[in-house]
Amino acid sequence: MKCKIVLNNDFKIGDVDPRIYSGFIEHLGRAVYEGIYEPGHPEADEEGFRSDVINLVRELDMPLTRYPGGNFVSGYNWEDGVGPRDSRPVRLDLAWKALEPNSFGTNEFMNWCKKARTSPIMAVNLGTRGPAEAQALVEYCNHPGGTHWSDLRHSHGWQKPHDVKLWCLGNEMDGPWQTGHKTAVEYGRVAAESAKMMRWTDPSIELVACGSSHPGMPEFGQWEATVLEHTYDLVDYMSIHRYYGNQNDQTPGFLAMSDEMDRFIKNTVAACDFARAKLKKKKRIMLSFDEWNVWFHSHGSNANSPDWSFARPILEDVYTMEDALLVGSLLITLMNNADRVKIACLAQTVNVIAPIMTRKGGGAWRQTIFYPFSLSSANGRGTVLRQSVESPSYETVFGTATDGKPEKLEGVPYLTSSAVIDPKSGETTLFAVNRSLDKELELTVELQNIEATKILGWSVLHNSNLKAVNTESVEAVKPCEVSGAALRKGKLTLKLSPASWNMIRLGA
């Protein structure tokens, strides 16, 4: 099958915000305890942080990490997680039916971020709490001193402000599963008052309002419009979340879900721009896709983990080669929406639906989805070019991990791709996924007004067994460097293997 891409340096989508390669750590399962924090582990440092995990997070190069939730934050009292550990209370975590010892909290997270070379996105509890508690946390984190909450931080051993610049106004407040679930009007009002008080405390911060938990929510679109009626002048981003699964083992449909993500993004942008027009505003609301991933392998596994236990091993998806193909495709979709998606958080980072897995007392390893993320993060920064793409297509049916409802898709291209030019190095990087399970794609790329005379590298992620997984001892899915591409007179030609993720780097 033959495909063609035409690229021209004069036609651009926008600049990639590096924050689209961010992560997420929630007090959920073994993400914190036995994940990033395990005192007594052979690799633990003086603060109890696993250095092997820190090294892998650094490899992912995540500019931001969202914390502490997620569903957890909607019932969380942040004051429980600061001060002397021996005086911190043990609580019932209603979101995940676990015991929360609070031995890891805000200040520990800030220290971990510095070591992992990431920066915090803090979420405030607008489920069971409200504006006063949200303002207090901003004061605790960001005010220099001389007030109750900032001096309390001093007394806990942190003299300098944490200077957290990005804050989420709650989490998935449209969801009935959420502690303190609210209607759009109820949430819009509490978000507006919280945002106002938080900004009065620190005018330099940016704020993210809760959008729809997924596009199948009954009020999707109307929720965004209503929330923005109350918050438009006070917030910078609207959040959206989406998870994907192949529970029906229909791989062609599963691999098409990046197209569904694109549609979700564009529909949310339309809702935000409707509010902009209705309210006669100048600024545009950008998107924070602050939860996304493949999530379905672990469905039903919670029954094997006792309720109200510590560090319950739940939501531990073991990812396959085909999962890595979709994650690579989803990253391509995020790049191709660089004009409006400015933040995105892979959910999550360690153990819980994560690229990094650990064994208590043992090793840490890279899951299959680690590689498309790490290579995209390292090479997918710059200006995204608008593409003209010709590709054969197929018809399929898919159902998502969120709602499982089958939907027919027509005209799904076998090729999905993005192209990014690094303005500093001048390098052009092409990301491409062949979604055909059994046929090569003969790809031609015409490079118009682009300085590219040599191929710097071609990385491929491929395993003929689409169910292949990585374990602590065996890495069955990892990228390899291949040859066989040709670049002559502004035309790149190469063959993409069936069911493969590809990254081709070009230089002058």
Chain segment 71-98, per-residue pLDDT in tens: 999 999 999 999 999 999 999 999 999 9
Q: How far apart are CA 19 and CA 62, in angstroms?
A: 7
Q: How far apart are CA 328 and CA 416, in angstroms?
A: 10
Q: Sorting pLDDT into bands at 50, 70 and 90, what band is 300?
A: confident
For residue 20, give both structure tokens: 């689209």
Q: Which residues are known catalytic residues?
A: 172, 291
Going by C-beta distance under 8 Å and a sequence separation of 6 or more, which residues neighbour residue 21? 60, 61, 62, 63, 344, 373, 376, 377, 380
Domains of the chain: 2-10+384-507 (2.60.40.1180), 17-380 (3.20.20.80)
3-class secondary-structure state, position 80: helix
Query: What 3 state SS string does 262-305 have?
Result: HHHHHHHHHHHHHHHHHHCCCCCCEEEEEEEEECCCCCCHHHHC
Residue 250 burial (CB count, 10 A): 15
pLDDT at 400: 60
Query: Which ranges of 299-387 would DSSP assign to H, the alpha helix?
Result: 321-335, 370-379
In tens, the pLDDT along 309-322 reads: 999 999 999 999 99
In tens, the pLDDT along 318-343 reads: 999 999 999 999 999 999 999 999 99
| DSSP secondary structure code for residue 427 in this structure | -
Provide φ and ψ at 79, rounded to 5°. Answer: -65, -25
pLDDT at 153: 98
Q: Sorting pLDDT into bands at 50, 70 and 90, what band is 213?
A: very high
Task: Count Cβ neighbours within 10 Å for each residue of 406-417 and write b for 16 or more, e otherwise.
Answer: eeebeebbbbbb
Average pLDDT on 344-371 reads 98
Q: How far apart are CA 53 and CA 43, in angstroms?
A: 9
Q: Sorting pLDDT into bands at 50, 70 and 90, what band is 159?
A: very high
